[in-house]
Amino acid sequence: MLLCFAASWPFNIHKSWVSRTAVGKSIAFEVIIEIGYCFGIAAHAVNGDFNYVLAFYFLDICLVATDMLLYFRNRKLDRERESRLKSIKD
């Protein structure tokens, strides 16, 4: 599962970068995903099970964080675009 997520997040990041819009994105969903990864890491830490799987958790956390940063960038771009359109209408 972690491998599949690690393979799919770059596509989502690319889409966020290219689309330049936050429409249709859910920051709450990404926060929940991040929390899930943190719980996964915590479970490994509590059990003393430090192995290569943790690297995928950290990779996935970094990928989701990147997409979250793009969400905020795109939300800012959406507001700027909306402001420009509103000023043109007025």
Q: Where are the domains of the chain?
A: 26-89
Of residues 57, 14, 11, the one with CA closest to residue 34: 57
Beta strands in 27-79 (DSSP E): none
Q: What is the chain's pLDDT, residue by residue, as a tens digit (90 residues)?
A: 889 999 999 999 999 999 999 999 999 999 999 999 999 999 999 999 999 999 999 999 999 999 999 999 999 999 999 999 988 886
Q: What CA–CA distance (Å, rounded) separates 36 from 16?
A: 22
Query: pTM for this structure?
Result: 0.90
| Two tokens, residue 14 | 């690319």
| Two tokens, residue 16 | 């966020």
